[in-house]
Amino acid sequence: MFFSKKSNQRLPKLLILCILVSGLVIAPSVVEDNLHWFNKPVLEVSANAQTQAGVQEAQPKQSNQDKNSEEEKSSKSEGEKPGKLDIFKMITGALAGLVLFLYGVTRMAEGLEAIAGDRAKELISKFTTNRYAGVATGAVATTILDSSSVTIIIVIAMVSAELLSSVQSLGVVLGSNIGTTIGAQIVAFKINEYAPIAMFAGFLLIFLGKTERWKQIGLIVLGIGLLFFGLDTIEKAMEPFEEYQPFIKWMETLGDNTLLGAGVGALFTILVQSSSATVAIIVTLASQGLISLPAGIALMLGAEVGTCADTLVATIGRDRPAIRTGVFHLIFNLVCAAVGVVFAAQLATLAKWLSTMLGAGDDIARQIANAQIIFNILGVVLVIGFLPLIARGLEKLIPDKQKGDRQAEALAK
């Protein structure tokens, strides 16, 4: 999606929104801690007057320790019961993390687009001499812009302006699917603890930067910090689900029914308008042990389909060549996702093997991130040789308008 230059005017409102939502997360925990302090049980010490002096001194200490351990065990067992979950705190925490994450992605994308947007267009136009160069260019541009949707929307605009041919645009679309996997790999390395440092550094660059370029760099750094801080907030909010049986059974259902998991992933991606956001959240929850590898792969496959929503919207009102680019993105992702659903077990095996080769071992988060890379690279390898045939097929499916139709449209305008 495109981010308007006027969005900086919404910065104070969005910051206030983040503060308010974060306050909803902090307030319940503060109140709960205070109530716990007031309701703290008084330890009862019983002493037998007829016991010896040494035993009389040791007995209260031992009884206190036993009672403390019993209270801790009982509190943990109560917290593990389904009815004892603080649903309000968990929902507000997850929403706060999601807001911070999406806001961070937006800020980072705006900074990247301001610094590298024009360069990305030049990169795409200069280095898409053939389909293979188009794949490489799409991967690099998506890595720079951190959004496959932005890359494809730029390509659609360039196709409309006749700056790219159909085959060149299809190659860039394929490359964008590879570039979008970089973010999941970064999230899988668990660098959330450094998020406050990035936020503070970005804040300083924005307010102390002497040039507009430094301010935009600060915006990028701040966005990265908010992104990972939001993921960390989501992770902490979801901690009670670690031993919550209904949630565990639901994740098992998504893992066993790959098609259902893909549907959930696609729906969530359409809602947040970012497959990178969906996969990042999946990887974060997997690092916490809340999502298994089969369930993560199913959700990831759905995210690959859900990301097509933005590009389809971007084709509205465009010429036929631009529409063909958007339709190709949808068909390619749908077909690949369908194949991925059928061979989900084999994909999981390959992801485990690659993770073992890279020294990740049983890290589910890394396995899901590696599964996404394998899935997208295999899809590109299998399709890239047929791009000329696919381009001709799309031209027959969505032919160019005849001269009479163009004249009629011109008169209508």
Task: Report d(CA 287, CA 63) in Å as an integer.
Answer: 39
3-state secondary structure of 366: helix
- The first and second tokens of residue 253, run together, are 């259902």
Phi, then psi, of 290 in degrees rounded to 5 = -90, -20
Confidence (pLDDT) at 321: 84
Tell me what pLDDT residue 70 has.
53
Residue 165 scores a pLDDT above 80: no
Phi, psi of 67 (to 5 degrees): -70, -40
pLDDT at residue 29, as a whole number:
44
| Amino acid in the structure at residue 328 | F
Q: Residue 337: pLDDT band by 50, 70, 90 thresholds? A: very high
Backbone angles phi, psi at 333, to 5 degrees: -70, -35
CA distance 305 to 128: 25
The pLDDT value given to residue 297: 93
Q: Is there a contact between 379 and 332 (Cβ–Cβ < 8 Å)? A: yes
Is a pLDDT exceeding 70 seen at residue 52? Answer: no
pLDDT at 41 over 50: no
pLDDT digits (tens, 9 = 90+) for 357-401: 888 778 898 999 999 999 999 999 999 989 889 988 998 888 887
Q: How many residues make up the chain in this entry?
A: 413
The Cα–Cα gap between 226 and 102 comes to: 9
Q: What one-character DSSP code corresponds to residue 386?
A: T
pTM (predicted TM-score): 0.68
Is the pLDDT confidence value at 123 over 60? Answer: yes
Q: Average pLDDT of the chain?
A: 75
pLDDT in tens, 273-311: 778 788 888 888 888 888 889 999 999 999 999 888 877
Per-residue pLDDT, averaged over 50-78, amounts to: 48
Lowest mean pLDDT among 25-39, 151-165, 230-244, 358-372: 25-39
Q: How confident is the model at residue 248 (pLDDT cuts 50, 70, 90)?
A: confident
DSSP string spanning 5-43?
A: GGGGGGHHHHHHHHHHHHHHHHHHHHHHHHHHHHTPPPP
